[in-house]
Copies of this chain bind each other. A is one copy, B any other.
Amino acid sequence: MKPGIPKGTRDFIPSEVYRRQYIFDIIKTLFERYGYQPIETPVMENLETLTGKYGDEGDKLLFKVLNNGDFLSKADKDALSRLDSQKLVHSIARRGLRYDLTVPFARFVTMHQHEITMPFKRYAIQPVWRADRPQKGRYQEFYQCDVDVVGTDSLICEAEYLRIIDQVFKNLGLDVVIYLNNRKILAGIAEEIGTPNRLNEMTVIIDKMDKIGEEGVHKELSKMEFSESQITRLLSLLSMDDLQTMQDSLKGSEIGQKGISEMQEVLSYLDGLYLHNEVVTKVSLARGLNYYTGCIFEVSAKDIEFGSLLGGGRYDNLTGVFGLKGVSGVGISFGVERIYDVMEMKDLFPSELAQSIKVLFVALDEASHKRAFFLAENCRMKGISCDVYPDPVKIKKQMKYADQIGVKHVVVIGSEELKSDKYTFRDMQSGDQELLGQDELVQKLLM
- Show the binding face of A for B, using Cβ within 8 Å: 1-6, 9-14, 17-18, 21, 32-35, 37-46, 48-49, 60-61, 63-66, 68-73, 75, 80, 83-86, 88-89, 92-95, 97, 107-108, 110-112, 115-117, 119, 121-122, 127, 129, 131, 140-141, 149, 152, 154, 156-157, 159-160, 163, 268-269, 271-273, 321-323, 354-357, 369-370, 373-374, 377, 380, 383-388, 390-391, 401, 404-405
User: How distant is the Cα of A106 from the Cα of B49 in the complex, in angstroms?
Assistant: 35
Residues of chain B with a CB closer than 8 A to A160's CB: 373
User: How distant is the Cα of A370 from the Cα of B45 in the complex, in angstroms?
Assistant: 41
Contact across chains for B11 and A269 when beta carbons are under 8 A apart: no
**Distance from A1 Cβ to chain B, minimum over Cβ atoms (Å):** 6
Contact across chains for A369 and B44 when beta carbons are under 8 A apart: no
Closest to A45 in B: B5
Given contacts A66-B93, A85-B69, A390-B152, contact A127 B43 (CB under 8 A): yes
Contact across chains for B386 and A6 when beta carbons are under 8 A apart: no
Contact across chains for A157 and B390 when beta carbons are under 8 A apart: yes
Given contacts A374-B273, A380-B33, contact A70 B42 (CB under 8 A): no
Complex copy number for this chain: 2
Contact across chains for B72 and A63 when beta carbons are under 8 A apart: no
Contact across chains for A49 and B3 when beta carbons are under 8 A apart: yes
User: How distant is the Cα of A70 from the Cα of B60 in the complex, in angstroms?
Assistant: 10
User: How distant is the Cα of A46 from the Cα of B4 in the complex, in angstroms?
Assistant: 7
Given contacts A46-B6, A377-B163, contact A39 B11 (CB under 8 A): yes
Residues of chain B with a CB closer than 8 A to A5's CB: 41-42, 45-46, 49, 107, 111
Contact across chains for A11 and B112 when beta carbons are under 8 A apart: yes
Closest to A63 in B: B65
Closest to A407 in B: B35
| 5 tightest Cβ-Cβ pairs between the two chains A and B | A154-B390, A9-B42, A14-B37, A35-B387, A152-B390
Residues of chain B with a CB closer than 8 A to A71's CB: 85
Further 14 A-B residue pairs, CB within 8 A, beyond A5-B107, A72-B88, A269-B373: A4-B49, A11-B40, A11-B111, A12-B41, A17-B40, A21-B38, A34-B385, A43-B43, A66-B92, A72-B84, A154-B391, A156-B373, A163-B377, A268-B370
Residues of chain B with a CB closer than 8 A to A40's CB: 11-12, 17
Contact across chains for B1 and A48 when beta carbons are under 8 A apart: yes
User: How distant is the Cα of A61 from the Cα of B68 in the complex, in angstroms?
Assistant: 8
Given contacts A13-B112, A152-B391, A156-B373, contact A65 B68 (CB under 8 A): no
